[in-house]
């Protein structure tokens, strides 16, 4: 008999805690969630039928409408197999398991990749879900190797994992990197080696110290001196300006610190997550339906693109945070997540069957300043949307 994994136990605990705090879920949204998940399953069946065998889906080309794909080294390579695992979990249809396994074979070699900080996205979203749902212990070795590769990018003087090896920065760290720490926490629990989780905590603490402004918005990029650990500059790469609040960056921070609290029970991380959530929810330029503009400080609001990917990440994070935040704040975060999911399940953001190159959500933004992936579907928007829908359904059951 397969043992229940730590991840499943944690998830079930979240479900029970949240139900006790927020009460009965919105029946209309539960119905919409099922309809959206059923549509997602049909869309991804279509994706699997048309996707070439040696690539992974990435987005739609905004110029010609064609599907854009990637190889396994692109940072989003783990999301498509991960979404297939979620759809297998929902439907129990073995076709999704087969497709996930097929695409994971392409990604498998990235366990040895020490040139990227994105191994959490690439490996934990794919192989982590595979381990959770199958109990196949062979995936543990792959994930532990991935954690070892990721840890090589940690500089103890800086107290962070280096994000990029390109550009003119000396030691750039981006807020996105908070999302990759879950792999390290898992590795310590699984292996008994505390060094991985120690790196995750040090990175999180350094990021709190240097990445956030007094209002708890975050910079996108902080560049450090690798020899001294001092901050060289605080910049943006995908945001509107160095001083702006790039929408998906705020979502990454919210999700990352919520996860860090779950894994450590350190209340400093819970406080940080709540402060980020309050910044997002109370922002005067938050969109009426809470699917944010691509940057909260973007020139031209409200006539600028929305970012459904930021909304999906935020919704999933808020649902989990509602379990930890206490009764009053928990209800507030739960209600906000419901509002976001209502919007994402609407015709404005949810693709029609057979359209959108078989992606699920429309209207996301990759990097507006670079005119890259603007107002298009994105594979990680789909991943976190499906995750949020499943989380909502499971938490509502109690």
Q: How far apart are the first and last CA of the chain?
A: 25
Rg (the chain; Cα; Å): 19
- Helix%, strand%, coil% for the chain, nearest 5: 60, 10, 30
pLDDT at position 25: 85
Place of tokens 């990097």: 367
pLDDT at position 250: 98
CA distance 221 to 276: 17
Place of tokens 């040696």: 54
Query: Cα separations (Å) of 304 from 43, 60, 192, 314, 381?
Result: 27, 19, 48, 19, 18
* Burial category of 31 from C-beta neighbours within 10 Å (exposed 0-12, middle 13-18, buried 19 and up): exposed
pLDDT at position 398: 78
Whether the CB-CB separation of 67 and 380 falls below 8 Å is answered with: no
Residue 233 Cα to chain centre, angstroms: 26
CA angle 118, 9, 195 (to 5 degrees): 45
* Burial category of 9 from C-beta neighbours within 10 Å (exposed 0-12, middle 13-18, buried 19 and up): exposed
Which among 252, 303, 304 is positioned nearest to 273, based on CA atoms?
252
The two tokens of residue 266 are 């350190």
CA distance 219 to 243: 7
Whether the CB-CB separation of 377 and 304 falls below 8 Å is answered with: no
CA distance 319 to 330: 9
Whether the CB-CB separation of 350 and 344 falls below 8 Å is answered with: yes
Give just the sign of the alpha carbon dihedral 218, 306, 311, 147.
Answer: negative
CA distance 173 to 217: 16
pLDDT at position 152: 98
Local confidence pLDDT in tens for the 398 residues of the chain? 333 344 444 444 444 444 444 546 899 999 999 999 999 999 999 999 999 999 999 999 999 999 999 999 999 999 999 999 999 999 999 999 999 999 999 999 999 999 999 999 999 999 999 999 999 999 999 999 999 999 999 999 999 999 999 999 999 999 999 999 999 999 999 999 999 999 999 999 999 999 999 999 999 999 999 999 999 999 999 999 999 999 999 999 999 999 999 999 999 999 999 999 999 999 999 999 999 999 999 999 999 999 999 999 999 999 999 999 999 999 999 999 999 999 999 999 999 999 999 999 999 999 999 999 999 999 999 999 999 999 999 999 87
Which among 240, 116, 135 is positioned nearest to 179, based on CA atoms?
116
Which string of b and e fits 249-288 if b means at least 16 CB within 10 Å? bbbbbbbbbbbbbbbbeeeebbebbbbbbebbbebeebbe
Task: Tell me the angle at which helices 327-344 and 267-281 cross, rounded to the nearest 10 degrees.
Answer: 50
Pairing assessment for the beta strands 172-174 and 364-367 based on DSSP bridges: unpaired
pLDDT at position 22: 54
Catalytic amino acids?
A: 118, 176
pLDDT at position 61: 96
Which among 315, 332, 328 is positioned nearest to 390, based on CA atoms?
315
């Amino acid at each position: 008999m397969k043992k229940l994994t730590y991840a499943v136990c944690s998830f079930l605990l979240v479900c029970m805690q949240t139900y006790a705090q927020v009460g009965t879920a919105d029946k209309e949204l539960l119905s919409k969630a099922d309809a959206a998940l059923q549509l997602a399953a049909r869309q991804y069946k279509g994706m699997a039928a048309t996707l070439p065998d040696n690539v992974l889906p990435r987005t739609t080309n905004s110029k010609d409408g064609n599907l854009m794909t990637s190889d396994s080294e692109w940072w989003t390579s783990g999301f498509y197999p991960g979404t297939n695992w979620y759809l297998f979990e929902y439907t129990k249809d073995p076709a999704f398991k087969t497709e996930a396994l097929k695409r994971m074979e392409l990604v498998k070699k990235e366990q040895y990749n020490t040139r990227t900080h994105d191994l959490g996205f690439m490996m934990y979203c794919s192989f982590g879900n595979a381990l959770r749902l199958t109990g196949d212990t062979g995936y543990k070795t792959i994930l532990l190797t991935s954690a070892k590769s990721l840890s090589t990018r940690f500089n103890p003087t800086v107290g962070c994992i280096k994000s990029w090896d390109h550009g003119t920065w000396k030691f750039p760290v981006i807020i996105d990197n908070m999302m990759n720490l879950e792999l390290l926490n898992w590795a310590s629990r699984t292996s008994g080696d505390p060094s991985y989780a120690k790196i995750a905590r040090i990175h999180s603490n350094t990021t709190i110290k240097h990445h956030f402004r007094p209002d708890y918005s975050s910079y996108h990029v902080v560049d450090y001196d690798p020899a001294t650990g001092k901050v060289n500059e605080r910049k943006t790469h995908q945001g509107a300006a160095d001083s702006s609040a790039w929408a998906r960056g705020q979502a990454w921070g919210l999700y990352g610190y919520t996860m860090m609290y779950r894994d450590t029970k350190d209340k400093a991380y819970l406080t940080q997550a709540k402060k980020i959530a309050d910044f997002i929810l109370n922002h005067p330029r938050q969109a009426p339906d809470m699917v944010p503009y691509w940057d909260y400080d973007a020139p031209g609001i409200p006539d600028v693109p929305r970012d459904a990917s930021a909304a999906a990440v935020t919704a999933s994070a808020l649902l989990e945070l509602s379990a930890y935040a206490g009764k009053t704040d928990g209800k507030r975060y739960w209600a906000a997540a419901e509002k976001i999911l209502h919007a994402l399940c609407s015709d404005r953001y949810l693709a029609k069957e057979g359209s959108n190159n078989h992606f699920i959500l429309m209207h996301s933004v990759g990097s507006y300043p670079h005119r890259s992936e603007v107002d298009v579907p994105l594979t990680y928007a789909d991943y976190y949307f499906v995750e949020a829908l499943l989380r909502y359904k499971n938490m509502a059951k109690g």
